[in-house]
Amino acid sequence: MRMIITNRKIMFAGIEILLLLTFLPITQCFPSIIRWSLQIISIGLFFIGLLLEKNKKYFLGYLGCILFSFVYVYNVWKFNQSIVTCIFNIMAGFAFVYFGVVYITQKEREDKYPQKVVATIVALVIITSVTTIVGLQRYPLAVRELGRVGSGYSSSGQAFLDLKFKYKLMNIASWSIVYGIVFAVPWFINQYKDKRKAKYIIGLIIVLICLMKAQLTIGILISVLLVFFSIYKPSKKPKDVLLSIIIVLLLLMLIIFGDEILLFVIQLSGNRNLGMLSTKLQDLFYLMQGNQIGDVLARSERYTRSLNHFIEHPILGMSIQGVSEYGLFGNHSDFFDILGYYGSFGLIVLIYMINTYLKDIKRSKSVYSQWDLFVPLVALIILFVLNPVWYSPQVFATAILLPSCAYLENYSIRNNII
């Protein structure tokens, strides 16, 4: 039987390799020549497939996003990261975005690649979550240490590098992968609601345990947001209106008794050997009291450092002057760093990117599918404001690619039944 190689098959092959490279920490232990070769092959396959798609909008959009992001990332992060890391993460992240967009905006839905992509992402999320949970039993701060450079909490120099290599061999997720796992939460909830199978609840529990053990405060808060809006969807049905009223009342109680609830969570996390999470939540508690200390104060200072460049150079930011030394930017928020580097021009480009994707969402068929695509986008924007996202292509895989392909999978199933 003759095998037909199509542009979609070429793109799919590139995406599959990219998913393996980004979601499995153990692949970072491969010899450099092997890992670089796989990176080039995967990006090359996707690029060729997208070119053969013969859609100038997608192809030029992909190139434009890469150029815009690379200039910013290289100039702001060149003192922290290698040029190879910058290029690969950016190209991988937008490859995930555009593969999802290509499918969600197509008219025909005949091939099975979306279902296969969903299966790959979910399998990798579960595998890495399990190995991370096991690894964190022995090394509870491994996720945070994998994000540090030069020294960890108890080691430095070569000893610290050896320890990080050990973490990767154990397939313990770094913070960038954990944030990607966060955005897989809605998929498990939606699958259980549609199919009522226990395996999706088990998968959700595994993911949530991984997020708790990783002790990333922002990740946990965003996962709570995603859980809430995956369960609650807007509707005019009487029972849903009643549910909306109950939710509003619960939110009011949360606002009124927020301090007491947060103090209880702080105490609970401290008693469960989640000391780092407890410390970060304490910082959040003091912020609610009007006091900035610890991590909250450090983040505020870094955000302000980047924002000051925008205030001084509101049109084109520091892009004209250039970044000549380390420490000019906060490196803790893509949003504030882009404002500081590109100025108002960067803000306009960001709004255009988001608006373009929103138009693609509107082209989907059902209200629920639009909601399932819209909620991760909002959460992604929140993370984009609070954290660097360019370093986490996994986030784009689960926030945009996964819901896009999952929507198509459900669409195909419904059509086959009909």
pLDDT, one tens digit per residue, over 357-371 is 888 877 765 445 678
The model's pLDDT over 403-412, given as tens digits with 9 standing for 90+, comes to 888 866 554 4
142-151, 291-300, 304-313: which is most confident:
304-313
Q: Place 401 in a pLDDT band, splitting at 50, 70 and 90.
A: very high
66 pLDDT above the threshold of 80: yes
Residue 339 carries which side chain, given as an amino acid letter?
A: L
57-71, 225-239, 366-380: least confident range: 225-239
Query: Are the CB atoms for 97 and 58 separated by under 8 Å?
Result: no
The model's pLDDT over 115-167, given as tens digits with 9 standing for 90+, comes to 899 999 999 999 999 999 999 999 988 888 888 777 777 677 888 888 899 99
- Could you give the CA distance from residue 298 to residue 141 in angstroms, rounded to a whole number? 19
CA angle at residue 401 from 64 to 38, to 5 degrees? 75
Can you give the C-alpha Rg of the chain in angstroms? Answer: 22
Residues whose CB is less than 8 angstroms from the CB of residue 116 and which lie 6 or more positions away in sequence, other chains included: 12, 16
The model's pLDDT over 13-32, given as tens digits with 9 standing for 90+, comes to 999 999 999 999 999 999 99
CA angle at residue 384 from 378 to 402, to 5 degrees? 55
Arithmetic mean of pLDDT, 74-90:
88
Residues whose CB is less than 8 angstroms from the CB of residue 79 and which lie 6 or more positions away in sequence, other chains included: 325, 326
pLDDT (0 to 100) of residue 418: 33
Q: Place 248 in a pLDDT band, splitting at 50, 70 and 90.
A: low
417 pLDDT above the threshold of 50: no
Structure tokens at 137: 């039993």
pLDDT (0 to 100) of residue 145: 87
229 pLDDT above the threshold of 90: no
